[in-house]
Structure 1
Amino acid sequence: MTTQELTSGTASAPADPAAAAPEPAVPRHPRVIAPATLILVLIMSVFGGIIGMQILTTLGITPNTSIVGALAAMALARIPLRLFRHYRSTHVQNLVQSAISSATFGAANSLLLPIGIPYVLGRPDLVLPMFVGVGAAMLLDGFLLYRLYGSAMFPAEGAWPPGVAAAEAIRAGDEGGRSAVILGLGIGCGAAGSWLGIPMSAFGSAFIGNIWALSMFGLGLLLRGYSGVLFSGPAFADILPRGDLAAAFVPHGLMVGAGLMALVQMLPHIVKKPAAAGGGAIDIRRTLGFGSLAYVAIAAVIAVAGGLLTEMPLGLLLAFVLYAALAALIHELIVGLAAMHTGWFPAFAVALITLMIGIMIGFPITALALLAGFTAATGPAFADMGYDLKAGTLLRAGHSARFEIEGRREQFYAALIAFCVAIVIVALSWQSFFARDLVPPIDRVYAAAIHAGVSGSTARNLMLWAIPGAILQLLGGPKRQLGVLLATGLLLSSPLAGWAVLTGIVLRLLWLRRRSPAGQTTMEVFAGGVIAGDALFSFTASVAANAVRGR
């Protein structure tokens, strides 16, 4: 070939067309820092944080705003202007719903609730140290779930029911057709049931989660709800006074035993050798190791800033730091397991258990106030991020592994932005809330428990009932989590939720018996609609009730 031929582009043999064709572009996940996305993420984060704090302090609950964020993005996408076309992407909608739910739970459960505990105890000087500590704990909480999601401990294949609901709502809004109709029926059913006072999120979760785990959850709810009728006879008089399971600390003891056994069952995933475990197991070990050290550091900062150096001897101070860090880590793992299987998590009850053990150890009141707030802050953000990542996983189905990894990372960034917004909102408004006596009602329960202390019989009951809790958890294994879920149900006082769960399980079994395996998809779309309908109605009703109360 001559120099002229090279420069003119002619050759003695034609080039291979296939080789010359450009490679198809690999789709990239939308970035949360894209201006249009970031603006909506910030707006919805502010909205979610304010709504979460207001409703928690007035009604004692935290609304699920995840669906609200998705609907806001869907509504903007329908505006026939080029400016809003960006919001048509289901992945952008996923980022927005991740942000608003993170801001809601972050501001309310992870920040305002913990700092209210020392305030109620008459120690406003501890609010600032607590705020710094729980803010760091919230950020660590979200990071740990981001790293653990998709591992053997918290698999992406897990139920995470609210995440399924958010994904199905976004997908139906995008695709329309039969799925949208089925989802709409589910939303109508969920809203109607919620209007009648039925916990429809529990009913919807029964179609999605592990049947064994949900059965124990429902059984626990019913046993707690009807314990006064079932166990009020003379045969139980010495064990359960007045048939009250909670008064005898049965649920708390069961959770202690089941929770400890659940941690033992997690050990194989942590201690496996790298060659046998693979990269995922290495991540588990490193993530939990980092989390443990980080919680120790945060607990130490809270202890020093809270003045415990002058109130406690060095040995007891070290015991407090180590126990607080361990309790925070255990708390988030147990809350995460319950949330993954049922969509419900007993964050308050588990934090109360760690507080009771702290009282038995002999920590002073100042240390107990800091302990209660610190452990209460861990768990809610952990569970909520699991829901959001599950929604993202479902929406990214069919894409490449690279796209999935990018999507999870962008969701984590969206949550971080929302957490930072929540920190700013709470920092600017907590004094205004507390000055008007708008304190989360549950904080008064923590304060009462600290003042009341723990008797010898309480400690004995905790240790006694921990034994059957551990045995049940051992028999069920780590996949079923029977002990943790039975204790979760017993810690929650909602017999209607128990009937809703068991009714849903029966209908699920009948559905699967009469339908082909493909019918399971239809069932899950309907269940997602039920959970979404319950969340939307509960959110709307909470906002309306709060508005009426404020007049």
Structure 2
Amino acid sequence: MSTSPPAPAPERAPAHPRALEPVTLVVTVLLSVLGAVIGLVLITTLGIAPNTSVIGALIAMLIGRVSFAALARMRDPQRQNLVQSAISGSTFAAANSLVTPIAVPFLLGRPGLVWPMLGGAVIGLAVDSWVLYRVFDSRLLPASAAWPAGIAAAETIKAGDEGGRKAKLLGLSAVVGFVGSLFKLPMSAAGVAFLGNIWALLMFGVGLLVAQYAPGLFDVDLAADHVPHGVMIGAGLVALVQAVLLMRDRKGAGRGGKRGAGQPRPADREDGPAPAPASGAAGQDGTAAGSAFAPGTRTVDTRRLRRGLLEGLALFLVGAMLIALTGGVVSDMGGIGLVGWVLLAGVAALVHQLIVGLAAMHSGWFPAFAVTLIFLILGLVLGIPMVPLALLVGYAASTGPAFADVGFDFKAGWLLRKGALPWQPYEMAGRRQQYIAQLVGFAVAILVVVVTWKPFFEDGRVPPVAQVYVDTIKAGLTDSHALTMMALWAIPGALIQLLGGSSRQMGVLLATGLLVATPQAGWLVLAALAVRIGYSRWKTRGGRAAEDTQPQTDADNDLALVGAGLVAGSSLNDVSQIYKAV
């Protein structure tokens, strides 16, 4: 009598290193202090907030080379990823999400409002990161998108772990990026051109070139005429509509669609086949727990995307209400005005984080200052009093950068975990540990800011962008010219965004280029795109068959290393500027 062999036991996901392990936690806290201090010093002196994730990854690698048994655990790329997530989080939290908002009421001559504003900024930071954690790798913010700084961090960690040709190519590119940055060339712009969506980056480059040459060729001041802001408003409004449309569940889930008892919800997919189950165990969102990574598979479905954004809006509204109560908005705006202020502040915080996040996802640049300025101008148009307007601007400014930075770090982790088996349980566990590491970095940043903001501000060291906000608030709108120009230029911005669709974000990236306006960056972006296209064609020209994708894969890997190296070198140069500020 024959018997069939027993079915294999479901494969269990390997345990991901924990962010709160003693050794990892100690290294994380120490490097987070370093990141927060670097961010605080540079934002208040040079006006920049460098990406310190590469620094964190390199230090973690060096620590892992120490022969002491406990420290040797840092050789694990996943632990290095946790550390780099924390240090970059602490840097952007201290510089962009905390110090910049609280400087606004201080410069306005209302130091008593610093603490209420700090409380609101902490809420904005917390909700910012929570929303990204909930919606990362959805149709709106897919892990497969560029997130250039995340690729740079991941490739740095992988090169350090694997060595060989990959390490040499990355190291050479990093040297080129560092040396180019010494000569004031925006090498990070060239780096992201090797990593992102070609159409999005093409519009980014066009925007940079227009911003650089239009004033001389046409004798026009784009910033004074609010042309970039108008383009961003039009593109941003269309991008928000596109985001809402992406929140619809095309398969019917969440719209009354029914499933049988125990039937898993289907995972959202971009393309490609469903991953073949290795053991038959069902994982989250319907993906087989024993499966390998498959291109096009997302870990966040439409229902969670919709819920995450609605949760974020609700929490932002709660934060706005707390600021209104503790910051004295009630005394300046009673009744309907107060309700309107709370609604505007909550919506502004959510819109600000989405626009900044979408721009950062494709280009690696986030125009937080410019988008905040748009809401400032809107507040002036609506006639919001000075103090409530300052608090509105500070609250909006607290969101966005951390949202983008968490996306960069999750992208790095996603790349490092793609080879795990089973993939999805390990990916979700790793993402959760990264989020915990980020929270540790945020906590350290909050403590550093609480201790240092007063001596810094009293010494005259404040973020330059905060001074621009305050000067704009005090000056007000002398005529309707700004409003007219923004309304006029919103039309082409909306049309370009609509033409490119949500996957390319062409309008948002064009506006980002116009707003960033970094000299020579446009030429570097376009040159890098030309090299990218030319190298890909040269690499694939000798392909053995039309369906053979290996040449293109090799080309993509080489280009990713070059781009990551350029971004890493530029980031190292930014961090090295600390000597100018101390």
Work out whether the TM-score is over 0.5: yes
Choose the corresponding residue for 1:328, options 349, 359, 369.
349
Instruction: Determine if the alignment matches structure 1 residue 270 to structure 2 residue 253.
Output: no
Alignment pair present for 1:284 and 2:320: no
Q: Which amino acid aligns with 1:82?
A: A
Amino acid at match of 1:374: Y
The residue matched to 2:520 in structure 1 has which SS? helix
* One-letter amino acid of the counterpart of residue 423, structure 1: I
CA shift, 1:272, in A, is 3.1
Alignment of 1:125-140 (within 5 A): 125-140=112-127
Distance in structure 2 (CA, Å) of the matches to 1:495 and 1:528: 21
Report the counterpart of residue 521 of structure 1 in structure 2.
Answer: 557
Instruction: Name the structure where helix makes up a greater proportion of residues.
Output: 1
Question: Separation in 1 of the partners of 2:70 and 2:22?
Answer: 11
Instruction: Provide the residue aligned with 1:257 in structure 2.
Output: 234
Q: Deviations over 1:285-313 (max 9, x none)?
A: 11111111111111111111111111113
1:145 to 132, 138, 141: 132
Q: Is 1:409 aligned to 2:432, yes or no?
A: yes
Which residue number corresponds to residue 355 of structure 1?
376
Secondary structure of the structure 2 residue equivalent to 1:140 = helix
Pick closer, same or farther for the CA change 1:91–1:123 going to 2, 3 Å. same
Contact 2:63-2:71 at 8 Å conserved across structures: yes
Task: Spell out the pairing of 1:390-409 with structure 2 (5 A cutoff).
Answer: 390-399=411-420, 400-409=423-432
Q: 1:504 to 1:316 in 2, by over 3 A?
A: same
Report the AA paired with residue 110 of structure 2: R
* 325 and 177 in structure 1: CA distance in 2 versus 1, 3 angstrom threshold: same
Equivalence for 2:456: 433
Is 1:100 the equivalent of 2:87? Answer: yes
Tell me which residue corresponds to 2:398.
377
Is the contact between residue 211 and residue 513 of structure 2 (CA under 8 Å) also seen in structure 1?
Answer: yes
1:543 and 2:578 equivalent? yes
1:166 and 2:153 correspond: yes
Is the aligned partner of 1:226 residue 2:196?
no
Quote how far apart the aligned CAs of 1:230 are: 2.2
Aligned to 1:9: none
2:86 counterpart of 1:86: no
Equivalent residue number for residue 260 of structure 2: none
Return the letter of the residue paired with 1:531.
V
C-alpha contact (below 8 Å) 2:61/2:80 kept by paired residues: yes
**1:24-103 equivalences in 2 (<5 Å):** 26-103=13-90
C-alpha displacement of 1:274: 6.6
Q: Find out whether 1:246 has 2:223 as its counterpart.
A: yes
The equivalent residue for 1:191 is 178
Structure 2 distance, partners of 1:25, 1:247, is 60
- The Cα shift of 1:468 comes to 1.2
Once residues 569 and 119 of structure 2 are traced to their aligned partners in structure 1, the CA distance between those partners, rounded to angstroms, is: 36
Partner of 1:310 in structure 2?
331
What is the DSSP-based 3-state SS (H/G/I as helix, E as strand, rest coil) of the residue aligned with 2:66? Answer: coil
Counterpart of 1:294 in structure 2 is 315
Residue 19 of structure 1 deviates from its aligned partner by 5.9
1:118–1:369 Cα contact (<8 Å) kept: yes
Q: How big is each residue's C-alpha offset from its partner over 1:34-55, in whole Å with a ceiling of 9 and x where there is no partner?
A: 1110111111111111111011
Q: How does 1:108-123 map to 2 (within 5 A)?
A: 108-123=95-110
Q: Report the Cα offset of residue 23 of structure 1.
A: 7.8
Partner of 1:424: 447
SS in 2 for 1:197: coil
Q: CA separation in 1, counterparts of 2:487 and 2:339?
A: 24
Cα deviation, 1:301-333, whole Å, max 9, x if unaligned, reads: 111111111111311111111011111111100
| Aligned-partner SS, 1:515 | helix
User: Distance between the aligned counterparts of 1:520 and 1:281, measured in 2?
Assistant: 29
Matched AA of 1:142: S
- Residue identity matched to 1:425: V
- 1:330-356 deviation line (CA, Å, top 9, x unaligned): 110000010000000100000000110
Q: Structure 2 CA distance, aligned partners of 1:21 and 1:289?
A: 42
Alignment of 1:199-214 (within 5 A): 199-214=186-201
Provide closer, same or farther for how the CA distance between residues 27 and 460 of structure 1 changes in structure 2, counting only shifts above 3 A: same
Aligned-partner Cα distance in 2 for 1:68–1:495: 26
- Cα 1:514–1:21 change in 2 (3 A) is closer
In 2 relative to 1, CA 432–177 (structure 1 residues): closer, same or farther, beyond 3 Å? same
CA distance in 1, matches of 2:13, 2:136: 24
Match of 2:388 among 356, 363, 367: 367
Aligned equivalents of 2:8 and 2:345: distance in 1? 60
Q: 1:274 touches 1:282 (CA, 8 Å); kept in 2?
A: no
Aligned residue identity for 1:487: A
Task: Give the Cα separation in 1 of the matches to 2:356 and 2:8.
Answer: 52
- Please name the residue that 1:503 is paired with: 527
CA distance in 1, matches of 2:510, 2:302: 28
The aligned amino acid for 1:190 is G
Is 1:109–1:377's contact at 8 Å kept on the other side of the alignment?
A: yes
Count of equivalent residues = 523
Q: Does structure 1 retain, via aligned residues, the 8 Å contact 2:357–2:400?
A: yes
Distance 1:383 1:431 in 2: 28
Does residue 443 (structure 1) correspond to residue 466 (structure 2)? The answer is yes
Using the TM superposition, give the Cα deviation of residue 229 of structure 1 relative to its aligned residue in structure 2, in angstroms: 1.8
The DSSP-based 3-state class of the residue aligned with 1:275 is coil
In structure 2, how many angstroms separate the alpha carbons of the residues matched to 1:301 and 1:21? 55
Structure 2 gaps of 5+ residues are: 255-265, 267-284, 286-300, 541-551
- CA distance 1:292–1:21, shift in 2 (3 Å): closer
Please give the alpha-carbon distance, in whole angstroms, between the structure 2 residues aligned to 1:209 and 1:20.
Answer: 44
In structure 2, the CA distance between the partners of 1:327 and 1:38, relative to structure 1 (3 Å rule), is same
SS at match of 1:33: coil
CA contact 1:149–1:386 (8 Å) conserved in 2: yes
Give, in whole Å, the separation in 2 of the partners of 1:313 and 1:56: 36
Residues 183-219 of structure 1, C-alpha deviation per residue, up to 9 Å, x if partnerless? 1111111111111111111101101101110011011
Amino acid at match of 1:503: A
Paired residue secondary structure (2:194)? coil
**Superposition deviation, residue 154 in structure 1:** 0.3
| Cα separation, 2, equivalents of 1:506 and 1:152 | 29
AA of the residue aligned to 1:529: G
Q: CA deviation at 1:26?
A: 3.7
> Residue 112 of structure 2 aligns to a residue in which SS?
helix
| Equivalent AA in structure 1 for residue 224 of structure 2 | A
Residue 341 (structure 1) aligned with residue 358 (structure 2): no
Quickly say closer, same or farther: Cα 1:312–1:274, change in 2 above 3 A: farther
Query: What is the CA–CA distance in structure 2 between the aligned matches of 1:476 and 1:273, rounded to whole Å?
Result: 21
CA distance in structure 2 between the aligned counterparts of 1:248 and 1:530, rounded to whole angstroms: 34
CA contact (8 A) 2:13 2:425 kept: no
The 1-side partners of 2:252 and 2:215 are apart by 54
**Per the alignment, do residues 171 and 453 of structure 1 end up closer, same or farther by CA in structure 2, a change over 3 Å counting?**
same
What's the secondary structure of 2:70's corresponding residue? helix
Q: 2:492 aligns with which of 455, 468, 488?
A: 468
Partner Cα distance (1:44, 1:332) in 2: 26
